Amino acid sequence: MVKRIPGLPSRQQILNFIATSDTPAGKREIARAFALHGQDKIALKALLKDMADEGLIDSAPGRAFHKMGGLPKVTVLRIVDVDDGGNVWAQPERWEAEGVPEPRLRVRERKRGALAIGARILARTEEAGNGWIALPMKLLPAGADTIMGVLREEGGKLFLMGLDKKDRRDWLVSDADGAEAGELVVAERTGRPPRITARVVERLGEAFAPRSFSMIAIAKHGIPHVFSDELLDEATRVAARPLGDDREDLRHLPIVAIDPVDARDHDDAVWASPRDDGGWDAIVAIADVSFYVRPGSLLDKEARRRGNSVYFPDRVVPMLPEILSADVCSLKACVDRAAMACHLRISAKGKIEDWRFSRAVVRLRANIAYEDAQAIIDGRGGDSAADLLGILQPLWSCWHALNAARTEREPLDLDLPERRIVLDEQGRILSVAPRERLDAHKLIEDYMIAANVAAAKALEAKKQPVMYRVHEPPAREKLVALKEYLKTLGVEFALGQVIRPATFNRLLEKIGDSDFRPQAMEQVLRTQTQAYYGPQNAGHFGLALGSYAHFTSPIRRYSDVMVHRALVAGYGLGEGGLTPDEAVNFERIGEGISQLERRAMEAERETADRYVAAYLSEHVGELLPVRITGVQSFGFFATVEGVGGDGLVPARDLGSEYFRYDEAAQRLVGEHSGTEFAIGQRLELRLAEANPANGALRFELPDGKGSAGGSLREDRRGKPPRVLKRRGRPANIRHQGKRR
């Protein structure tokens, strides 16, 4: 006799029952075995249909079920690999057939390059010889059938809080699989509206333990973070590869690396020396990753699958195993390292006159933190830094020339602060503050840009494929939106002119140090297109450059590895050069790594938001200085000055006055008082909620009752804001202008 299990059973429980039942097991027998009634029986019917579609069970003529070991005709697949020949491979998203190996299907794409690793598709499956092929029917949203969240308890029941800021619903948990409140879990939605519940399918550990926020992002975005033993063995073997005798010996030069104090790897190092004609000879030495990571190797396939390293406050998920990324490839002082050297001839006016590339061996004189390099050049390094001062001074002098050329070129100049989250040894947050921007940062940035330009132009001259870093000019519709926004500030912006980066610089100069300058910079940034990788050159608008490639970070970016391989092939520098298969697949590879870059950026941003929310959770109930960063019909968003983290003030909390939404001006306006809440406005708000699970903040007006009182300090034009008045009606919103 089968033991009755209350509630809707899991897939595995159904499979176990079918396998052990002494009689044919149909829907009626399954419902009876698990004591299902009413709506649960309807949900069981849907679940059995899903299991049949997924190939887990099949129905016999007498309506009994049995376990299947094959693939269903239509199923959900996840793209797992794109090989050097351009073939796309997928595997079933769910595979529970015991004793049957999980199949690998070759996908027949309708449009070449449309599917990237990690994409989910609904596909028809067909046997082909000894294997399977998949015919895509529909591209599915990422994780449409699963939810990641944190369990909470209320009234003796468990609920799942989603990790997406947009998901404001908590799901009743029907099967916790032993998980408890406070755990981070992956669950699948079950049932049918209106009775949809969540069933835990994977437990990921304590949600708010130190160093857990990065693991949330890793799990949510499916970022590969574990290297196989086989791959680690390969990394150990190639790490022992001798450098060889055919490298240019640069060990006599006092080359130095200048990096963040908390840098995990060291891709680049620099050296400069003055010439008699007033110009400079400079070398940008970059880790020679292509020497170790050869095309077609396990390391190469894994690096392409990851696309880039992902950096979190508490850890890095490297593109390459640490024996390479943090050790053998990393340019460190006092040890011999393999490098790809970019030799630059720079004029007295900072123009790049000539270049060449070589494989070299270097022995760095020092690894210096940005802050220490700046202190030495400013005369605050002390007597012990005298030797380093002699190395840094020529670098700084050459940089002044490069910087002058940059100023003449007039790239886009947006000085937007970067947050730095400092943790203690246990992973607890010590501080969240803007990262200081020093001349030392600008110096390294300009040397890297010079080397990247040289790499692109060198490959063009050698007629080699180039993995360009492309940043196209802004689209007209974004320029129109910017014009409408600036008009509300009394700033004119002509659309008829030729738009260059300098156009935006002049615009910001016109705004000056006004209170709304930071928000104007944000709006200019939103006007820009997203940069991407590809073999077709469309220039780099933001840097005002005609040819630009990424060459300087091969430890953490696969795009740079491709550029290195092309240089090795073009200059005849030995093994590890670009293969013909890679050359013809540059477009596909570029699309893939561009998508992976966006995934990493989103994961890093979300993790920073979670850390900020955790940091601010100790200040719930306090008044905080904020700036309004966005306005919608349902309320406005504000960010805590000097800390970051976006929080919502819902329209319902603005009091009893009727508010209009002025879309063009991006503001909410009180119908009777004229009180405005507009982008760029500074004020004080009370922090009502800080949710580390999804990084969301919620603010209230200072008295918590919808009255602004006297704490709104100034509006975006520096004038005291008008006070919100009560009219005895619930807050509501009217639209002025087009609706969204």
CATH (domain of 58): 1.10.10.10
Highest mean pLDDT among 186-200, 520-534, 704-718: 520-534
Which CATH number belongs to the domain containing residue 98 in this structure? 2.40.50.140
Per-residue pLDDT for 75 more than 70? yes
Per-residue pLDDT for 2 more than 80? no
Q: What is the pLDDT of residue 597?
A: 95
In a domain? residue 216: no
pLDDT in tens, 32-44: 888 887 777 878 8
**C-beta separation of 554 from 662 below 8 A:** no
DSSP states of 422-466: EE-TTS-EEEEEEPP--HHHHHHHHHHHHHHHHHHHHHHHTT---
How would residue 95 be classed by pLDDT, with cut points 50, 70 and 90? low
Phi, psi angles (nearest 5°) of residue 33 = -65, -35
How far is 402 from 450, CA to CA, in rounded Å?
A: 8
Q: Which residue has the tokens 């030729």?
A: 498
Per-residue pLDDT for 461 more than 90? yes
Partners of 628 in the β-ladder: 638
Per-residue pLDDT for 21 more than 80? no
Determine the structural domain holding residue 626 and report its residue range: 620-736
Residues 353 and 496 in one domain: no
In a domain? residue 3: no
**C-beta separation of 19 from 186 below 8 A:** no
Residues 43 and 159 in one domain: no
Can the peptide bond before residue 194 be classed as cis, meaning omega within 30 degrees of 0? yes
* Average pLDDT over every residue of 115-143: 80
Six-digit token string for 525: 């940034």
Q: What is the pLDDT of residue 209?
A: 77
Residues 651 and 698 in one domain: yes
How would residue 192 be classed by pLDDT, with cut points 50, 70 and 90? low
How far is 102 from 75, CA to CA, in rounded Å?
A: 14
In a domain? residue 217: no
Mean pLDDT score of the chain, rounded to an integer?
84
In a domain? residue 678: yes
How far is 449 from 97, CA to CA, in rounded Å?
A: 53
Lowest mean pLDDT among 8-22, 474-488, 581-595, 685-699: 8-22
Q: What is the pLDDT of residue 62?
A: 43
Q: Collapsing DSSP states into helix, strand and coil, what is residue 475?
A: coil
Q: Virtual CA dihedral for 295, 301, 304, 310, nearest 10 degrees?
A: -120
Report the run of H or E that residue 406 belongs to, with start and end: helix 386-409
Q: What is the pLDDT of residue 188?
A: 81
Lowest mean pLDDT among 77-91, 471-485, 594-608: 77-91
How would residue 167 be classed by pLDDT, with cut points 50, 70 and 90? low
Six-digit token string for 198: 């969540």
* Average pLDDT over every residue of 702-724: 39
Residues 283 and 348 in one domain: yes
How would residue 60 be classed by pLDDT, with cut points 50, 70 and 90? very low
Q: What is the pLDDT of residue 24?
A: 63
Q: Is 442 left (phi over 0), alpha (psi -120 to 50) or beta?
A: alpha
Q: What is the pLDDT of residue 22?
A: 62
In a domain? residue 581: yes
Per-residue pLDDT for 348 more than 50? yes
Residues 98 and 183 in one domain: no
How far is 51 from 69, CA to CA, in rounded Å?
A: 12
Residues 152 and 176 in one domain: yes
Burial class of 258 by CB neighbour count within 10 A (0 to 12, 13 to 18, 19+):
buried
How far is 554 from 486, CA to CA, in rounded Å?
A: 40
How would residue 704 be classed by pLDDT, with cut points 50, 70 and 90? low
Q: Output 211 or 286, whichever has higher pLDDT.
A: 286
* Average pLDDT over every residue of 655-663: 84
How would residue 69 be classed by pLDDT, with cut points 50, 70 and 90? low
Residues 575 and 484 in one domain: no
Per-residue pLDDT for 705 more than 90? no
**C-beta separation of 646 from 638 below 8 A:** yes
Helices (H) then strands (E): counts for the chain: 17, 34
When computed from its CA atoms, the radius of gyration of the chain, rounded to whole angstroms, is 29
pLDDT in tens, 574-626: 999 999 989 998 998 998 899 899 999 999 999 999 999 989 998 999 999 99
Q: Output 685 or 652, whichever has higher pLDDT.
A: 685
How far is 313 from 435, CA to CA, in rounded Å?
A: 13
Of 111, 140, 169, which residue constitutes the final position of a domain?
Answer: 140
Q: What is the pLDDT of residue 113?
A: 65
In angstroms, what CA-CA distances link 106 with 91, 127, 595, 633? 9, 10, 21, 47
Residues 48 and 183 in one domain: no
How would residue 726 be classed by pLDDT, with cut points 50, 70 and 90? very low
How far is 65 from 61, CA to CA, in rounded Å?
A: 9
Residues 159 and 253 in one domain: no
What is the percent of the chain where pLDDT is above 70?
A: 87
Q: What is the pLDDT of residue 239?
A: 97
| Chain centroid to CA 1 | 53
Per-residue pLDDT for 538 more than 90? yes
Residues 315 and 441 in one domain: yes
How far is 46 from 301, CA to CA, in rounded Å?
A: 40
Closest CA to 693 of 301, 219, 351: 219
How far is 510 from 706, CA to CA, in rounded Å?
A: 36
Per-residue pLDDT for 479 more than 80? yes
One-letter amino acid at 354 equals D
Of 154, 174, 207, which residue constitutes the final position of a domain?
Answer: 207
One-letter amino acid at 178 equals G
Six-digit token string for 721: 């804001």
How far is 327 from 418, CA to CA, in rounded Å?
A: 28
How would residue 142 be classed by pLDDT, with cut points 50, 70 and 90? low
Per-residue pLDDT for 258 more than 70? yes
Lowest mean pLDDT among 73-87, 166-180, 696-710, 722-736: 722-736
Lowest mean pLDDT among 154-163, 297-306, 511-520, 548-557: 511-520
Residues 337 and 431 in one domain: yes
How far is 495 from 500, CA to CA, in rounded Å?
A: 12
* Average pLDDT over every residue of 150-172: 84
Q: How many domains does the chain have?
A: 6
In a domain? residue 184: yes
How would residue 414 be classed by pLDDT, with cut points 50, 70 and 90? confident
Phi, psi angles (nearest 5°) of residue 363 = -135, 100
Which CATH number belongs to the domain containing residue 164 in this structure? 2.40.50.640
In a domain? residue 191: yes
Partners of 469 in the β-ladder: 533
Partners of 187 in the β-ladder: 147, 200
In a domain? residue 213: no
Highest mean pLDDT among 102-111, 419-428, 522-531, 558-567: 558-567
Of 110, 140, 170, which residue constitutes the final position of a domain?
Answer: 140
Per-residue pLDDT for 248 more than 50? yes
Lowest mean pLDDT among 73-77, 97-101, 196-200: 97-101
Per-residue pLDDT for 79 more than 70? yes
How would residue 141 be classed by pLDDT, with cut points 50, 70 and 90? low
Residues 411 and 492 in one domain: no
Six-digit token string for 288: 């020679």
Per-residue pLDDT for 725 more than 60? no
Report the run of H or E that residue 344 belongs to, with start and end: strand 336-346
| Chain centroid to CA 109 | 26
Q: What is the pLDDT of residue 711?
A: 32
